[in-house]
Amino acid sequence: MVEALKRNGKIDRKGPVVLVIMDGVGFGKYKEGDAVAAAMTKHLDGLYAKYPWTRLKAHGLAVGLPSDADMGNSEVGHNAMGCGRVFHQGAALVSESIASGRMFQGRTWTNLVENVRKTGGTLHFIGLLSDGNVHSHIDHLKAMIQQAKKDGVRKVRVHALLDGRDVGEMSALDYFDPFAEFLASLSDDTFDAKIASGGGRMVITMDRYNANWEMVHKGWQTHVLGEGRQFPNAHDAIVTLREETGAIDQDLPPFVIAENGKPIGTIEDGDSVILFNFRGDRALEITKAFEADELSEFDRVRHPKVEYAGMMEYDGDLHVPHQYLVDPPSIDRTMAEYLCASGVRQFSISETQKFGHVTYFFNGNKTGKFDEKLEEYVEIPSDIVPFEQRPWMKCAEIADRVIQEVESGKWDFIKLNFPNGDMVGHTGVFEAVVCSMEAMDLQIGRIWEAVSKAGGIMVVTADHGNADDMFEHGKDGSVKLRADGEPKSKTSHSLNPVPCIICDDAYAGEYSKELREGLGISSIATTCITLLGFEPPADYDPSVVTLN
């Protein structure tokens, strides 16, 4: 429990403070490929021209990642905004645990290794095979496989998902080929390690927020049952499926590696399974498929009795999974908890793709509300279609509901997430991203009209960049080209700063219009608390607003 916040005695508005999070929208470094700059954004342009704004850091050390070479992501971004401080995040925690040896000394690792040594079973690894460092890192996987051999495990199978979002859209072979050689170099008379199955991360296994359980079903069929199109190795599978489908890595169909017509890596009774992704949102559903006694979402056909573990605890409230290798960051005293203790009425909304971000991640990786009487969460169901086909997504429906709630006068603080810049940005389709920005801009204009009329304040920001950097560039800044002469699409996040605009038509000189510079997005919590008329917790990172 936390104590109620004290009033700052400076700011008192008739209307609510509304936090608008433009997911994946930053300030581009290059003109070419900046879909945010290329879009016609009349309303945002007007806000920049009329109201004070600044740039915030949203990657690397500013959001708890190992280095400033690491791109930010929606999860760590919402953690930082929601808790007002910077915590070491998944990638750093896993790396530290491996380097220190703590992972391999822990009870979970021991359980999984001893299980397969006792049963003669296989140790399976499922996860994203890249160095994107957003969901996973290939170096973590390599370290675990090397340790498994040292610990006497005799058989390892890797179920490797293609990335193409946090790394180059067609970079899979840059990871799969060297990794296959790595496994071959370890294999001998006492140790057998191979890739057993795979598929694009947006096709199998890695669904989130219960948006499309059929993805998990396909993953189960591929990894567990060994059902699917067979290939002699992952290289041939990737090359063949690319040629046949024209799909980029994240959208590649599933495949199964087989020898003599038999899958080499089905998951059986007595095996051990490690989901080596460290991020929680896209790990919860496949975890449920392994751990639930009964599953209504799809027919598992068979439910092997295995020792299952995740890289981390993916849900701290539900304690999922039952076993995990690395303790997650302990995030406490979030903004929402403080606001509830202070009697602040709060409304949170997004569509399915980012609903968990303005709730679960914003609340420090906690499921549920801090106060049922003071909080309301609304999820607008996302369309289950490729995002480039509906680049506007559900931004109009989100805006409709936000405007309704602003006009109702029921809430002191409203937060919302527009997923467009991130989800459409990951498709790599430049024209669709431009469309998504223009659609979002229209809705921001509508929301601001309602907030201004209600006498409130609107804070516009973002969790990381993406739509601002849609082409791959060389070291000299030139655009990389495909074989057909078209720009090479970039589907990953950017390292670019993001905006923070303070829109306040009732401004009466309570704070300086010269906003602080050089801060990270963790400053959003203190900024909102200050604009709500409260003094922030002493250990929260500074606000962009300085009271007069």
> Mind telling me the catalytic residues?
74
The CA–CA distances, whole Å, from 493 to 296, 432, 499 equal: 35, 16, 15
| DSSP bridge pairs for 377 | 348
Q: Which two tokens stand for residue 19?
A: 């936090």
Ramachandran assignment for 422, one of left (phi > 0), alpha (psi -120 to 50 degrees), beta (any other): alpha
CA-based end-to-end distance of the chain: 31
Rounded to whole angstroms, how far apart are CA atoms 322 and 328? 14
The CA–CA distances, whole Å, from 170 to 73, 99, 130, 260, 417 equal: 20, 31, 12, 30, 29
Rounded to whole angstroms, how far apart are CA atoms 169 and 132? 12
Rounded to whole angstroms, how far apart are CA atoms 180 and 485? 32
What is the DSSP secondary structure assignment for residue 386, as one 8-state letter? -
What is the DSSP secondary structure assignment for residue 7, as one 8-state letter? B
DSSP 493-546: -B---EEEEEE-TT--SSB-SS---S-BTTHHHHHHHHHTTBPPPTTSPPPS--
Rounded to whole angstroms, how far apart are CA atoms 409 and 391? 31
User: What is the amino acid identity at position 365?
Assistant: N
- The number of residues making up the chain comes to 548
